[in-house]
Amino acid sequence: MRFSQLIWCLMLLLQLSFFADAMLDPVDFLSLQAIRKSLHDLPGSNFFHSWDFTSDPCGFAGVYCDGDKVISLNLGDPRAGSPGLSGRINPAIGKLSALTELSIVPGRIMGALPATISQLKDLRFLAISRNYISGEIPASLGEVRRLRTLDLSYNQLTGTISPSIGSLPELSNLILCHNHLTGSIPPFLSQSLTRIDLKRNSLTGSISPASLPSSLKYLSLAWNQLTGPVDRVLIRLNQLNYLDLSLNRLTGTIPGRVFAFPITNLQLQRNFFYGSIQPANQVTIPTVDLSYNRFSGGISPLLSSVENLYLNSNRFTGEVPASFVDRLLSASIQTLYLQHNFLTGIQISPTAEIPVSSSLCLQYNCMVPPLQTPCPLKAGPQKTRPTTQCNEWRG
């Protein structure tokens, strides 16, 4: 009898040990319950269908565990076009002490970002984009020292970007575009930072040369209210492959050396740059967009190696270099937009045939275009500038 009881007790202990290994930490369990009560499926979404707390939460959709701790939480159906979630982010999320990854799919999440997220000391990836998160970005996020990716784009965030965010030592991706952020751009200390996207905010002030690390490969600051020169900033960023500074109030000249960088896309539209583009080494950038600025002086022949070149709506003067014509007729240049400048000539035959794959627009300059080519509608109907404008410019 005692032997059979002993066997039964041993089996019970083994079963308890098995369930203990599979059982989620009680703090994490309660945190998930609180998170679930604060969020809801939008119509057409069944993401929370598997969140039955009578079963193991580590089997829930979007929940990933290591032992008895939640290490990754991906809320919402990640498939394209899924309706997403509604509700608010419960502060209990800060109790998931082992969390390294937190993401929420696009939806209708509202309210402020809980400051308790700063308690997640192992968090490396935080992405909550295309929702309705409002309020300020908690300065305490700077305490999450292992954070590498911060994506809060396409929300309703206000306030400034705290210097504590810039001090994150391992930050590699900062994506805060399409919000209502104000203030200046803080200095960023991480030497592994490769992407900054702050476009379509209301940021002001100048860009300090020391604020951006040379490790950057992607920089978008378009659609803000930034002012001041950028020459010393661009010289340092010699690893860029994408640059967009359009629609700001930047001034000064663009250093020629910036065009020697292997930039894939360069956009400096609708700013208030003054001065000319200085010569440099042969340009190897596929696309250069400097339209809607106030650049002046002659057009450098070094830019003739660009495949798609947008210099329209500036104050360029003089003749178009012959190297542009040669490359245009050989179909090496696909787009050459020079309209709305003060150019005085181009050496091209009126009978020349522009390749079908290439586009040339010359209208509204201080010359009669030697041949008629289709231009974008924004170029307007006028073929040349009034003589009075050209005389005043020359004077």
Q: How many CA atoms lie within 13 A of 314 on its CB side?
A: 28
- For residues 339-344, give the mean pLDDT: 93
Task: Identify the residue with better confidence: 227 or 170.
Answer: 170
Complete domains list, the chain, with CATH: 22-273 (3.80.10.10), 274-379 (3.80.10.10)
* pLDDT tens digits, 8-55: 444 444 443 334 445 899 999 999 999 999 999 999 999 999 999 999
- For residues 145-173, give the mean pLDDT: 98
- For residues 242-263, give the mean pLDDT: 64
Mean pLDDT rounded to a whole number for the chain: 86
Q: 246 falls in which pLDDT band (50, 70, 90)?
A: confident
40-49, 167-176, 309-318, 362-371: least confidently modelled range: 309-318
Taking the C-alpha atoms of residue 310 and residue 287, their distance in angstroms, rounded to an integer, is 8
pLDDT score at 310: 81
- What pTM did the predictor assign? 0.79
* pLDDT tens digits, 63-85: 999 999 999 999 999 888 889 99
